[in-house]
Structure 1
Amino acid sequence: MTNNQNQPREFDAVLGGEAPPPVQGVVLGGIEGVKRRLSSSNIEAGIAAVSEALNYGDAGLYLLIEALKNKSRKVQRSALKVLKDIEYPQIELALKNYKFWRSFEKLYSIPCGYSTTFANRKVIEFDPTTKISETVDIAYALRIIPKEDYWKPSMNSVDKLQIFLQSPLANQIEALVFGFWYTSSLEDYTFLPVMNALLNANEKLGNIKALFIGDVNNSEWHHLPLLYSNFSYILLAYPQLEVLKIRCNSSSRYYKNSTGIQFSPVRHETLKAIIIEGEISYDVIDEICQLELPALEYLELWFGTDGRYSYVLESIRNFSHIFPNLKYLGLRNCVFSDDMAFAIVDSPILENLLELDISVGNLGCKGAECLLNCPSIRQLDTLDITDNYLTDEIIKEFNQFEIEVISERQKTPDRYYSACE
């Protein structure tokens, strides 16, 4: 840590007239010079200030943390590179907030088994015969476990929830995971009982920040319908909710009286992440766009074979206006990836994004060229184009970007793309 914090250096700001300092000007050297350069529109000066900030101890570290919010993505990335190698509690918290989703479990295909982590927490199966002892960084799962009889389980999820609520520590739990709701009637394969139970338990679960409804394994995903109701009631009942994850499938469309996933126009102040895995229709996307979610930073949507994709493209173009604080956008499992790439480039959404994920789709040469020719793509931290139809030559072009590019599992054109498998 230097003792000459006010000595002028290269790029130091000079206040006053045209004459050289100190005749008519005041030199802002040291920490003030670093601060001024970080807030200026001169990107190169900002990057240089990032490197110099470490010379000023805690004050410099604070400026580096603030630089993660800089208007320039290059300055942000420079600060990120420096901070990642420093062990300091405030820095760890800042990096966690910068990309709070960095440890989210991410699927590239249908689930093989039940989730082991959720919302950066370890998933533990709730045992109704034992007491809750852990509450920190834990997500309790209330599922019908494989050893039980699927058709006549000894205890369904709602019964487990009622026992769970009897614990004096229930109001300290921050995350819950729900699997299937089982009855003997096929028409009753719906999560409505679980959702109703959650609505009735909102006062006892006053600290819930993350909910995952629909955590199913491979067999359940393929053969049983995931039927839901209106999730806006959940949002209203849990105003402190930060992460909402839903898993759906195509089976539900073949059953009568299925309302499926729905949202009504409501405002929620704290919701930071929406994740919907499976096959959602345009109607759901349209309803999500009608929500008021000022805190939303993470939006991950899995598409399917809904033919009305022109409506989806229009929604994508409007995302930047609807969700201005979005940092991660995942548009996955898509059968119109090339058209989606053009819609993304036409939208100002890229100006604020840290990460764009268009994996598990049918992105080809046309869409790739569109992204390669877009300067804003180079401002991302991460671009995920895993599991598409891109050649080695195109991947090499993407890898020339000074950003993280994830590009594994590219398919050959003669294969039926995995988005429809």
Structure 2
Amino acid sequence: MTIGKYQHEFHGLPVFDFPGVLADPDEGTTASTGLPDAEAVAWRISAPTYSDPGDEHWEPLFERFLKTVDAERVRALVVGGWDEPYETSSAFVVAALVAARDRLTGLRAVFLGDMTGEDCEISWIVQSDVTPLLAAYPALREFGVRGGTDLLFPPIRHEGLETLAVETGGLPAAVVRGIVGSELPALENLELWLGTDEYGGDATTEDLAPLLAGTGFPALRRLGLCNSVIQDAIAAAVAGAPVVARIERLDLSMGVLTDEGAAALLDGQPLTHLTHLDLSHHYLSEAMSERVRAALVPHGVTVVLDDAQEPDDDGDGEVYRYVAVAE
């Protein structure tokens, strides 16, 4: 499965596409009339990923956006596509956002790489070191990024970040170590799509150890370790992880979770304090699904077991299971 839809809401705001074409070039006017209030929406700035001559590229589009809206009152930005993101990294986008820090003084949320599979498959999106963006915006509360190719996230300290989401078809171990080694005292919500080694997802449970030990991220209440080809091992590690005692919502969805991983999860520490457990897109038997429900639902835990999968058998004894989003 690939990403099929753009974000329609971000940071609690509806996403609005900033117009990217000239309405009447002869008159010198743009399609930027009748725009919403600057702080009422999350502004999506997106250029064609397969551009034609005459198409407006991302940098001039962004500059026109800054000149058109009341930039100081913009609260959220969603960066969509840029020209040839399968070859051109996001470094110039990051640099442009950093350069605009004195204009976007009210910015509180950024999502980088809101592209569908038709724009650019998730594992083809070439990212970059995204931490300069965090350093440039100390008041940022939410940050999300899609795409793991060339993604860098060296350890950083950020006092205000509350939500961090990294969506990939394969998350490099170095990025995982950088994130869990960061100092994020306000972080409440962490979501990592770990993916598969076929697309660079080489992280192990050992790379997650500082996170699972609960020694960092003192404010963490919602944890997602998703879309993983090692979902059983993650479930087993989570079963004994000290951090789980203070988690309210646990998300182990989108991966290749089997009965083995679910059993380890249930046989570990109690999970009845959770408000929400998401195991959707799973490979559990019906019997194990019922066991999970019976163990948690009577205690008020909302359990999501949608999108049950069946493994593929090639007829020669090889069984294949797939994460929800890879390529």
> What range describes the TM-score normalised by the shorter chain of this pair?
0.7 to 0.9
Q: How far apart are residue 116 of structure 1 and its match?
A: 1.6
Q: Find the counterpart in structure 1 of residue 157 from structure 2.
A: 267
Q: How far apart are residue 375 of structure 1 and its match?
A: 4.2
The Cα offsets for residues 283-318 of structure 1, whole Å up to 9 and x where unpaired, read as 001011221110001110011223452433434433
SS at 2:7's partner residue?
A: coil
2: distance between equivalents of 1:138 and 1:322? 33
Q: How far apart are residue 133 of structure 1 and its match?
A: 3.6
Q: Read off the aligned partner of 1:289 and give its amino acid letter.
A: V
The Cα offsets for residues 77-132 of structure 1, whole Å up to 9 and x where unpaired, read as xxxxxxxxxxxxxxxxxxxxxxxxxxxxxxxx531132222222111110252154
Q: Find the counterpart in structure 1 of residue 167 from structure 2.
A: 277
SS at 2:244's partner residue?
A: helix
Q: Read off the aligned partner of 2:192 and give its amino acid letter.
A: L
Change beyond 3 A, Cα 1:193–1:373: same
Is 1:359 the counterpart of 2:253 in the alignment?
A: yes
Change beyond 3 A, Cα 1:173–1:308: closer
Q: How far apart are residue 155 of structure 1 and its match?
A: 1.0
Runs of 4+ in 1 over 4 A off after TM superposition: none
2: distance between equivalents of 1:153 and 1:367? 53
Q: How far apart are residue 231 of structure 1 and its match?
A: 1.6
SS at 1:300's partner residue?
A: strand
Q: How far apart are residue 417 of structure 1 and its match?
A: 2.5
Q: Find the counterpart in structure 1 of residue 41 from structure 2.
A: 138
Q: How many residues align?
A: 299
SS at 2:132's partner residue?
A: helix
- Name the one with the larger helix percent: 1
Q: Find the counterpart in structure 2 of residue 243 from structure 1.
A: 142
Change beyond 3 A, Cα 1:307–1:141: closer
SS at 2:68's partner residue?
A: coil
Whether contact under 8 Å (1:299, 1:326) holds in the other structure is yes
Q: Find the counterpart in structure 2 of residue 216 from structure 1.
A: 115
Q: Read off the aligned partner of 1:202 and give its amino acid letter.
A: R
1:300 pairs with one of 155, 180, 191:
191
2: distance between equivalents of 1:153 and 1:406? 47
1:370 pairs with one of 264, 268, 282:
264
Structure number with the bigger relative contact order (C-alpha 8 A, sep ≥ 6) is: 2
SS at 1:312's partner residue?
A: coil
Is 1:180 the counterpart of 2:180 in the alignment?
A: no
Identity over aligned pairs, percent: 28
Q: How far apart are residue 373 of structure 1 and its match?
A: 2.3
Is 1:163 the counterpart of 2:64 in the alignment?
A: yes
**260-269 or 230-239, which deviates more:** 260-269
2: distance between equivalents of 1:142 and 1:361? 31
Whether contact under 8 Å (2:16, 2:44) holds in the other structure is yes
The Cα offsets for residues 180-201 of structure 1, whole Å up to 9 and x where unpaired, read as 2216x974x1111111111110
The Cα offsets for residues 8-38 of structure 1, whole Å up to 9 and x where unpaired, read as xxxxxxxxxxxxxxxxxxxxxxxxxxxxxxx
Is 1:384 the counterpart of 2:278 in the alignment?
A: yes
Q: How does 1:15-414 map to 2 (within 5 A)?
A: 109-127=1-19, 129=30, 130-131=32-33, 132-144=35-47, 150-152=51-53, 154-167=55-68, 169-182=70-83, 187=87, 189-222=88-121, 225-249=124-148, 252=149, 260-278=150-168, 279-304=170-195, 305=197, 306-318=201-213, 320-400=214-294, 401=296, 402=299, 403-414=301-312
Q: How far apart are residue 239 of structure 1 and its match?
A: 0.8
Q: Find the counterpart in structure 2 of residue 96 from structure 1.
A: none
Q: How far apart are residue 135 of structure 1 and its match?
A: 2.7
TM-score for the superposition, normalised by structure 2: 0.84
Change beyond 3 A, Cα 1:186–1:221: closer
Q: Read off the aligned partner of 1:312 and give its amino acid letter.
A: D
TM-score for the superposition, normalised by structure 1: 0.66
The Cα offsets for residues 254-293 of structure 1, whole Å up to 9 and x where unpaired, read as xxxxxx2212333211100111111211100101122111
Change beyond 3 A, Cα 1:169–1:393: same
Whether contact under 8 Å (2:91, 2:129) holds in the other structure is no
Whether contact under 8 Å (1:180, 1:191) holds in the other structure is no
Q: How far apart are residue 355 of structure 1 and its match?
A: 0.6
Whether contact under 8 Å (2:171, 2:202) holds in the other structure is no
Q: Read off the aligned partner of 2:209 and give its amino acid letter.
A: E
Q: Read off the aligned partner of 2:98 and give its amino acid letter.
A: L
Q: Find the counterpart in structure 1 of residue 321 from structure 2.
A: 417
